[in-house]
Amino acid sequence: MNTVTRSLRRGRTALPRCSLNFSSVIGSSKSQNRLFASASNHEKHRPDPMARRPTAKCDPFGQGGKPLVLEDAIRLSATVDSAWKVETEMKETKEGNQLEHPATIVREFQHPDFMSAASFFQEVAAVAQMNDHFPSLTMERKLNSRKKMWTIVSSVRCHTKVLGGLSHHDFFLATLIDVEIERPEVKSLLMSDSDSQQ
């Protein structure tokens, strides 16, 4: 009585083990056998040598997980248009001291109407999307006391929330926005300096 018959009598549905001689199926070439054996061996996992190795700390901004200090923010502010302003806030250190900390860089733009400001935000949003770094965008209506009329003012505020302050990416994004507003089709969405100061 064979194994299958015994297993069926006991109520099991076991199949007999079979062994194949792969050299007779594939051929007698040793290189072919090694190729087939390595392809069929699912237990071995070969890591990709080009893959990035995980680190103990996630640091996508290359700053050790810390925001820029005030001195670095002031130094980097020279790389962007002078209309960008570094806003600071007071933070408490581990020792209990109060320290001035750069929180954001902000630039305001004036527009002739609400639709121009909305179109301007579309241009800024496209730059942000392509660079995967997103500023805060606000738009409000302000009274121009000199001209005695309303103007639309938009603010672009660059900061890195994950770090709780500024990163090099914020200044890079500000530079790209500076380049973008020099394009004629974007410049037409802004009020000229002479119009906004009158």
CB environment 100-123: b (16+ within 10 A), e (fewer): ebbbbbbbbbbbbeeebbeebbeb
Place of tokens 């103007």: 151
Among 179, 170, 175, CA closest to 105: 170
Between 129 and 95, the more confident residue is: 129
Q: What is the mean pLDDT of residues 155-178?
A: 94
pLDDT in tens, 81-105: 999 999 998 888 788 888 888 999 9
* Alpha-carbon distances, residue 179 vs 43, 175, 197 (angstroms): 53, 6, 23
Threshold 0.75, pTM exceeds: no
Residue 70 has φ and ψ, to the nearest 5°, of -60, -40
Q: Which domains does the chain have, with CATH numbers?
A: 3-40 (no CATH), 70-197 (3.30.1360.20)
